[in-house]
Structure 1
Amino acid sequence: MTSVADAARYFLSGPQVPEAARLLLSSHSLVALCEALSSAPAADFEPLVETLECLANFQEVHAELLKPDIVRFLLEGSGSPAARIRRLVARVLMGLSCTEASVEGLARAGLFDACERLLLDEETDTAETAMQALRGAVSFPAGRDFVLGGDANLVTRLRQNAQTVGDVQRIRILALGVELGRASAEAFTALETAGAFKDVLDAFITDDILLKLNAVELMEALGSYPAGQKFVSQQGVPERLARELTDPLNDDSVRLCVTQLLGRVLLRTPDLASTLLSGRDTPLAQAVASALDSRDVAFRLCGLNTWADISTSPGGLAFFLQWPTVIEKVVAYVSSATHETCMGATAAWTSVLRPLQPEGAVWDVAEKEVLPVALRNIVNKPFSDVRAQTWLLLSVLVKSRRAAQVILVSDAMRENMMDFSSETNHHAKIAKHEFITSLTKWHAGWIGAFLDDKVELLLQEYAKQGPNWQPFDAVPIVGKGTG
């Protein structure tokens, strides 16, 4: 009979599919695999570990993994001196956290205690895997009850121990709250009530420079999903964050984090612009202007993204339209020779203009200054991602009749429009199609004054058929006189 280790090697040598798992377990049980691992020589150790990790991904195996002998192995393994065994346990628990039935089994078996232990593991990969297991678990009632319910729940215990563990483990505990809040609205509410997000904020707004630097990613993560954005938009949090921009002890990563975070705050809560942007000398206004003026690409992108977030509200847009040097920078960066800056500026203008009707001061800037640069980029820039983003910008600009007229009298632009093989990249094809669709949607009644009838029909057919459509025969581009 084939040894357990050899059977594991055979399983790993082929596709890890349910049929292969059934074949393996028909000859060697999970208990046999665990027992073999407990006494395995070095040559057999890794194949057995990898096999158990793979099996945990099959839902039909989950019931077996929750039987007493395997549960005992997992609980003991979570405290094993062997880092590889602890990582194995974490990965098995993560596999078990993806269905409601398995999460209920985890709770009954007491395996969340193993997750708690592994979250504080010295091995980063093991700890992060345990965090993913808990994040999956709180998507289900049984997981939320154990992790967040009652006075002595897992999160409460971890928060109580946060001051007695090392800095790395403390940051992990804070990160757990952020990720659980991302996974479940109910979990977010419970964590907010318990003060978990206040803990994150206090770790960031502190005189402990090392702790603050470690908390930067936590604040970025908290501000990356709607419930977290709501939290940082209320109860005086934005004002506290804005004051961080003036602290000379804060390094670049802190300033970048706060600037971007406040941009998201204003995107969600535009009324705060009257406080955070009461004048050009306010910390946030100065931070945006400074970021745009920087030679560092990361700062420029931060400035562009924050400008766009703020300018999606009428008040924020009006504020920047009265600041010529900022607008000049944001326009100029559309033609930047730096790839990332060009992309960032083009995307920023797209997001600001997309929800607006083509009227007012911002459209004057867009038509007179942004449009000519976008047209040059389509003609001169070969990079597929820049072209895709530029077509998207043009699909927004073309809402304006004046912009559409400028586009249609451009020989180079008409050639690009009618070259149905001009884009080879998937995203660029879709973006170009969006532009043509917008053109024919907004201006179907008059574009025939600029195009030959056959060309107009081709564009309408292209808009109807989709980005991969091409005509059977080439049609010459004929522009009509414009009077």
Structure 2
Amino acid sequence: MASSVTELLSEIAELSEPLVELNRLKAAVNSVPLNTLRELATGLRFGVLFNLLESDDREQIDVCVAILERFLQSLEPICLVQNYKLELQKGLQHSDDRVKTLALTQIGRISECADAVVTVLGSPEFIKEMIHSIGSERISIANEAIKSLCRIAQNKTGLDALFTATMLENLKDVMGTSDVVRYRVYELVLEIANMSPVSLEYCVNGSFVTRLLSELSGDDVLIRATAIEMVTTLAQSQHGRQYLAQQGIIDRISNMIIGAKSDPFSSFYLPNLVKFFGNLAMVDSPQQICERYPVFVEKVFEMIEGQEPTMIGVGLDTIGILGSCIEGKQVLNKTGTAFQEVLRRLGSLSCNASTDMRLRCLDTIASLLSLQTDQQTEDILGMTESWFHALHSRPMETFRSMSSQPFPDIHIGALKVFTAIASQPWGQRLMIGTPGFVEYIVDRSTKADKNSKDAKFELVKALVNSKSIAEIFGNQHYLQLRAYLQEGPYFVKAVAVVAVEGGE
């Protein structure tokens, strides 16, 4: 088969209409193992295939791209850049998106190889074409270009090549294409800025970060919302957060939340302001962020208590994230009666809202109530127990009713809540004190879907793995649960069939 590949390549070079032979070559190439193809490809030149890309015949281009993908993928990056640098650079300028994607994919491989990428760094035209690919109408091409440029910027040599005066001008020219493309460039810049303090310094000196921050206070509320989202990306790194704090950006975003009360268009950007602080709290310290910026927590509670579905959803997700860690739980608990009101609102939403909102609410409740074994001090257990009882006047009966509903998503959401409290002694006491609850857990006769069976299995596992389960549930129930765990989530009890002599 390898010999036929060589023969077909030679034959194609002599043909003016090679489509039939190209398809034969494609089939031959796909049938050769990659290792064998690598040995073969190293000794071949594919100039004829690259030349055939210069055609108006879309089918011909498709087949050539498929063949080249297979051939080039088999080559080592250093071999690729040494032999096909000009062809790949030309591919970036091609009018057909499939050819551009082929070139960018291979450049991505080159960018990951320290020895191969040196050649790219020494070719300004190469980098220029990659920058201009960010402005492509096709998002997949832009994303490939961004990924490759990020790989190039992973060391100082790459940063120096990308942030020359000429390349900065090219980046700024591309930014002028449209609002969408401008934010693609911001995405590239922030990806690089988050890599290290040195990378951030390059991006700041290039004026990109300053320009993005200035858009936080722009007149266009949609641009403002997108800018806030992008700034949230920068806050993912410690040096990024330090920079934002030093520039007074965190304080400015806090003031934007305060100012949102008097802005009739705040609904466009307020969710992103809250998400910014939610992310900041989780990567930094929930206690420090919430205590320094109390308006953040106040706004989240206000959103949940309101009537706007989008705001309620963002508020639910935010306290779910905050309450997923022990420090966040303690911060929420310190708000006292304010959080008790929020819990009552969660209880109401879990029963009376739209299905989507009920599911988000149940996930939030499960996140708030979950505790690791090593977190279960007397005070913390008392706190989660009080939260559970604040949700409904009869929470066990309410969630038990949800877990029996025919709607799989709601059923699973309720099981997640039970799983959250299953390792906590007070939760186990409520379960054993609820008539028929244990029997419901171990009952496999209900025709549940796979996800429901998985959810119930997680509940059983949480119970069995608890140190207090045998004492609280008693030996008989404990053994039932352990047997269920050992049998797995999909166990089906065999039914004996007795044959009767003479029966039909």
- TM surpasses 0.5: yes
Distance 1:203 1:43 in 2: 45
Q: CA deviation at 1:407?
A: 1.3
3-state SS of 2:404 partner: helix
Query: In the alignment, which residue of structure 2 is the partner of 1:274?
Result: 291
1:128 lines up with 2:143 in the alignment: yes
Query: In the alignment, which residue of structure 1 is the partner of 2:92?
Result: 78
3-state SS of 1:38 partner: coil
Could you list the runs of 5+ residues in structure 1 that have no partner in the other structure? 475-483
Match of 1:379 among 404, 412, 431: 404
Residues 53-202 of structure 1 aligned to structure 2 (within 5 Å): 53-56=69-72, 58-60=73-75, 62-68=77-83, 70-81=84-95, 85-108=99-122, 111-138=126-153, 141=155, 145-147=157-159, 152=164, 156-157=168-169, 166-181=178-193, 184-185=195-196, 189-190=200-201, 194=205, 196-202=208-214
1:250–1:16 Cα change, 3 Å: farther
Distance 2:30 2:147 in 1: 22
Q: CA deviation at 1:404?
A: 1.3
1:305 lines up with 2:317 in the alignment: yes
Distance 2:201 2:449 in 1: 45
Distance 2:204 2:240 in 1: 16
Q: CA deviation at 1:322?
A: 3.1
For residues 223-268 of structure 1, what are the alpha-carbon distances to aligned partners after superposition, in whole Å with 9 as ceiling and x for unaligned? 6x45598458733333211222324164433111111221222333
The residue identity in structure 1 corresponding to 2:81 is L
Could you list the runs of 5+ residues in structure 2 that have no partner in the other structure? 1-7, 13-17, 497-504
Q: CA deviation at 1:222?
A: 4.5
Distance 1:65 1:393 in 2: 54
Contact 2:421 2:427 in 1 (8 A): yes
Distance 2:338 2:55 in 1: 74
Query: In the alignment, which residue of structure 1 is the partner of 2:224?
Result: 212
Contact 1:395 1:435 in 2 (8 A): yes
Aligned length in residues:
458
1:82–1:437 Cα change, 3 Å: closer
The residue identity in structure 1 corresponding to 2:401 is R
Contact 2:402 2:411 in 1 (8 A): yes
Distance 1:178 1:200 in 2: 10
- After TM superposition, the score normalised by the length of structure 2 is 0.76
Contact 1:273 1:316 in 2 (8 A): no
Q: CA deviation at 1:469?
A: 5.2
Identity in percent: 13
Contact 2:412 2:455 in 1 (8 A): yes
The residue identity in structure 1 corresponding to 2:289 is L
Q: CA deviation at 1:201?
A: 3.0
Q: CA deviation at 1:418?
A: 0.9
1:146–1:174 Cα change, 3 Å: same
1:359 lines up with 2:381 in the alignment: yes
Contact 2:457 2:488 in 1 (8 A): yes
Match of 1:239 among 238, 244, 251: 251
Q: CA deviation at 1:131?
A: 0.9
Contact 2:134 2:145 in 1 (8 A): yes
Query: In the alignment, which residue of structure 1 is the partner of 2:472?
Result: 447
Contact 1:416 1:422 in 2 (8 A): no
1:188–1:327 Cα change, 3 Å: farther
Query: In the alignment, which residue of structure 2 is the partner of 1:259?
Result: 274
Contact 1:233 1:265 in 2 (8 A): no
Contact 2:345 2:391 in 1 (8 A): no
1:426–1:185 Cα change, 3 Å: farther
3-state SS of 1:410 partner: coil
The residue identity in structure 2 corresponding to 1:234 is A
1:307–1:444 Cα change, 3 Å: closer
Cα RMSD over matched residues? 3.9
Contact 1:308 1:348 in 2 (8 A): yes
The residue identity in structure 1 corresponding to 2:334 is A
3-state SS of 1:127 partner: helix
For residues 268-287 of structure 1, what are the alpha-carbon distances to aligned partners after superposition, in whole Å with 9 as ceiling and x for unaligned? 3221222321xxxx465235
Contact 1:433 1:466 in 2 (8 A): yes
Q: CA deviation at 1:391?
A: 2.7
Q: CA deviation at 1:344?
A: 1.3
Distance 2:381 2:469 in 1: 20
Contact 2:133 2:142 in 1 (8 A): yes
1:26–1:11 Cα change, 3 Å: farther
